[in-house]
Amino acid sequence: MAFPHLQQPSFLLELHTIFPWLVESIFGSLDGVLVGWNLRCLQGRVNPVEYSIVMEFLDTGGPMMKLVYKLQAEDYKFDFPVSYLPGPVKASIQECILPDSPLYHNKVQFTPTGGLGLNLALNPFEYYIFFFASSLITQKPLPVSLHVRTSDCAYFILVDRYLSWFLPTEGSVPCHSPPAQGGPAPHRLPGHQPCPLLPMASTTLAS
């Protein structure tokens, strides 16, 4: 049963306000000053309790992704600085040339003053994934004495889980799409078989 106060616009507005702060707290700041949870160094064999909590929280059916879906249903947008995009893409946008990739279409509003200081208007899922991807290169180099196994590293295991769930390559797609307003978040049940690949999804993945 849903609590009435959780469905009020004011509560959703609060979620919208804290979302960028929460994402930055987890993945660190784009300038590398804030380390965040330092997922590259978090290993199950070294810190099993913290590792388990973090992986459950950031899993595809975990609380963080449920928050992403809730905000996604409200069509909120979040600013991501163009200056932190990959070099060629950043240069193209700053020269007021829209990149070929459809990922950036309808997300940049060019101004008469040029492309400097521009932001991408990203939906909650895009904003989350952009920070997740950027955290790999913005975090400080690992200490030489620290040996990290990618097979036991929270960051790389999350990469594998996200790719398997959101970009499946074995002829299947998740049965659940982001929920409608107030609906439950997607969750893969134990032993659940993926849905057959839809024609549209098949075309998209093959392109």
Q: Residue 25: what pLDDT?
A: 96
With contact defined as beta carbons under 8 Å apart, do 60 and 167 qualify? no
Give the model confidence (pLDDT) of 44-54 as tens digits: 998 999 999 99
Give the model confidence (pLDDT) of 171-198 as tens digits: 655 554 444 444 444 444 333 343 333 3
Structure tokens at 126: 């895009």
Residue 3: band (very low, low, confident or very high) from pLDDT cuts 50, 70, 90: very low
Chain CA centroid to CA 73, Å: 15
Q: Residue 8: what pLDDT?
A: 57
With contact defined as beta carbons under 8 Å apart, do 99 and 89 qualify? yes
pTM higher than the cut 0.95: no
Give the model confidence (pLDDT) of 113-147 as tens digits: 655 668 899 999 999 999 999 998 876 666 656 66
Residue 106: band (very low, low, confident or very high) from pLDDT cuts 50, 70, 90: confident
Nearest to 158 by CA among 5, 67, 34, 27: 27
3-state secondary structure of 60: coil
Residue 135 vs residue 148, higher pLDDT: 135
With contact defined as beta carbons under 8 Å apart, do 121 and 109 qualify? yes
Q: What DSSP letter does each residue of 158-173 carry, written as one string?
A: HHHHHHHHHS--SSEE
Q: Residue 1: what pLDDT?
A: 40
Q: Residue 104: what pLDDT?
A: 87
With contact defined as beta carbons under 8 Å apart, do 96 and 110 qualify? yes
Q: Residue 199: what pLDDT?
A: 31
Residue 207 clears pLDDT 50, i.e. is over it: no
Structure tokens at 31: 């300038």
What average pLDDT does the segment 167-172 reach? 73
What average pLDDT does the segment 4-28 reach? 81
**Over the chain, what is the mean pLDDT?**
77
Q: Residue 100: what pLDDT?
A: 85
Q: How far apart are CA 45 and CA 40, in angstroms?
A: 13
With contact defined as beta carbons under 8 Å apart, do 57 and 165 qualify? no
Residue 112: band (very low, low, confident or very high) from pLDDT cuts 50, 70, 90: low
Residue 152: band (very low, low, confident or very high) from pLDDT cuts 50, 70, 90: confident
